[in-house]
Amino acid sequence: MPNGSLSPPARLCLLAWDPARPGTADTARLHHLVRAGALAELARRGLLVDDDGIATPVDLDRRTGDAVLDGLLDLVRESVPRRWRAWVRPYARVTFDAVREQLVAGGYLRAEKKRVLGVFPSVDHVLARVAAARVLREEAREVLDGPLPAREVPARDALVVALAAAAELRALGPVGDRARRRGRIEELTACGATAAPGLGKVLREVRAAVSAEAARAVTPAGG
């Protein structure tokens, strides 16, 4: 996938912006998806490990050099122990806002100031690098639908697409054959899991949490 300097949570965030409508993002529960991507990336790097289902820091001194990942790592270190799924929601907007600002700093998004009702200051985030976002979408769809065998997909790309599919991002296109796509997602999850010991369990946990949040986002009140 392109934009190799972007972290998995940044890629997941950028995938939500529609190149056809640069001012529009697929924002339903996006903050939870971005948080899940950050958790998975910390596990991939070996900075968070699974200890009987608990997301556990392994070294109090190690850093990633990425402000978003280090901020989440500090939050996990300073908080009461939680299971992986339970980390997808708390303060997720903080992680999302930090990732979005990274994309602004990198020129992928543009922050446009405005006033609501002509009085209250606000900011819209608009896609600035439309071509980069379009290529990211195209390659994500290729990872999800083939033709490359899942075992040949780089683990980092497999991780990103498996999580994006769990959130049902519109960027990945129509589902079509649901059974085939579910099988492909399982294959990509297994591929992503090869990057670090125990990562498979982590990916399944955060993926399940993202799926639950996506379902909650579309469930009518009282449904």
Q: Are 168 and 178 in contact (CB under 8 A)?
A: no
Residue 31 domain-assigned (yes or no): yes
Asked if residue 223 belongs to a domain, the reply is no
pLDDT tens sequence across 29-81: 899 999 999 999 999 999 999 999 999 999 878 899 999 999 999 999 999 99
Q: Quick one: pLDDT at residue 25?
A: 75
Residue 120 placed within a domain: yes
Domain that holds residue 83: 8-215
Tens of pLDDT, residues 81-138: 999 999 999 999 999 999 999 999 999 999 887 665 566 677 788 899 999 999 999 9
pLDDT value for 117: 56
Residue 89 lies in a domain: yes
Q: Is the pTM of this model over 0.95?
A: no
- Asked whether the beta carbons of 169 and 16 are under 8 A apart, the reply is yes
* DSSP designation for 59: -
Task: Determine which of 22-26, 184-188, 205-209 has the lowest per-residue pLDDT on average.
Answer: 22-26
Does any domain span residue 159?
yes
Q: Which residue, chain included where needed, has tokens 């200051």?
A: 121
Read off the CATH number of the domain in which 57 is found: 1.10.3630.10
- Percentage of residues of the chain with pLDDT beyond 90: 61
Number of structural domains in the chain: 1
Residue 210 lies in a domain: yes
Flag whether pLDDT at 2 surpasses 80. no
- Does residue 176 form part of some domain? yes
Q: Is residue 36 part of a domain?
A: yes
Rounded distance between C-alpha atoms, residue 36 and residue 52, angstroms: 19
For 144-180, how does the pLDDT look when each residue is reduced to its tens digit (9 = 90+)?
987 889 899 999 999 999 999 999 888 888 777 778 8
